Amino acid sequence: MAYAFKLPDVGEGTTEGEIIRWLVHVGDIVALDQPLVEVETDKAVVELPAPVAGRVMQCVGAPGERVLVGTPLVWIDDGQDGNEVPPEASQQTPQGRPLLMENSEGGVRAAPFTRRLAKEAGVDLTTLKGTGPRGRIVPADIPAPKTIEEPTSLPHADERRRPLVMSSMRQRIAAHLLDSVRNIPQVTVVDRIDATELMAMRTQLNRSLEGQGESKISYLAMCAKAVCIMVQEFPELNGRWEQETLYLYQSVHLGVAVDTEMGLIVPVVKEAQTLRLTELAEHIHRLADDARHKRLSADKMQGSTITVTGGGQLGGLFATPIINAPEVGIVGMYPIVYEPRKTEHGYEDRPIMYLSLTFDHRVMDGVRASKSLAFLKTLMQEPYQLLRYMH
């Protein structure tokens, strides 16, 4: 029979949404919970999953059109007995309001969420040129809010203020981070591993490298290798979100965050998935050294598909790194600390390492992200069982 999937209330008080992108077409066979359409509301951009499995019979509305909550969006033939032809979709609600509305209030095409961002930033939408479909203004078109000028008089007699002079590099980093936070719905999941086996394996490997002239294997290199393996199982993390489209890659072009006196720089290890652990460690060591001594060429800082960052010897258990846009994921690993853990003989201090995964919520949901982090945890916590991956 024909199952009508209606636009649900995807947020408190949501009354309508704008169709951003169809993820299926008429005639497609869809599985239960498969994403059907991307919709933008005044709350966020969401993917709506299929409530039943079957064949897509009809998709209602085109990108850029607004749809009222309760409007049938997709008709799906679920194979059950009954009418297999969807009824003609009425263009009017019982109250006489159109179901599909052009999103062009005041002569400006912009979704409610985008309009709210513009209002908060104090930006007049009529002054902007949209880069979205059919000239639609999207969040990326809205400039950052202007900085509030400092008062000319000091509130306290003993207070002294001076402007912070930022280098051009620091200004570019700041602009990049602001753009990432404003345009990517970022969520972080965190887990911890017992690093006993990881420490033992690293010690053994570095002993075997003594006298061979190769760089010592760091925990960051081991984590980087594990990330290359993880994205084979969770390929949606190895990609770039550009111009409202997700591009996935078979090759892992691994960004490695390096702290320098100029700020955080992310050089790229190209084709990282092809490198043995010792080769990967050498690449990371060389790139980090080049970054700190300002020897990086432009091609070594472009094209990354996922980034890994280490906490080094800094304090704190873990952090929530900002995604290196246009990537969709960043993995963080942090210093090993000792925490009491229960054993069969009582409690004893064990070496613990925290891991984090910050991901683009447009690309995956929390359950999928947690599974990918759990997979990474297994690779790091049981390295001897996975030696075939490490070389």
* Active-site residue identified among 78, 156, 361, 391: 361
Angle at 69 between CA 67 and CA 72, to 5 degrees: 70
Question: What percentage of the chain's residues is helix, strand, coil (to nearest 5)?
Answer: 30, 30, 40
Give the helix/strand (H/E) hosting 285: helix 277-292
Asked if 373 contacts 189 with a C-beta cutoff of 8 angstroms, the reply is yes
Q: Is 117 exposed, middle or buried (0-12, 13-18, 19+ CB in 10 A)?
A: buried
Query: What is d(CA 69, CA 36) in angstroms, rounded to the nearest whole number?
Result: 16
Burial 285-312 (b: 16+ CB within 10 A, else e): bebbebbeeeebeeebeeebbbbbbbbe
Looking at residue 258, its amino acid is V
Query: What is d(CA 353, CA 226) in angstroms, rounded to the nearest whole number?
Result: 14
Joined together, the tokens standing for residue 155 give 């509130």
Query: What is d(CA 36, CA 107) in angstroms, rounded to the nearest whole number?
Result: 29
* Active-site residue identified among 25, 81, 365, 391: 365
Angle at 351 between CA 346 and CA 352, to 5 degrees: 105
> Does the annotation mark 361 as catalytic?
yes
**How many Cα atoms sit within 13 Å of 344 on the Cβ side?**
0
Strand 337-343 relative to strand 346-360, pairing: antiparallel
| Nearest by Cα to 390 from 254, 269, 203, 217 | 217
Active site residues: 361, 365
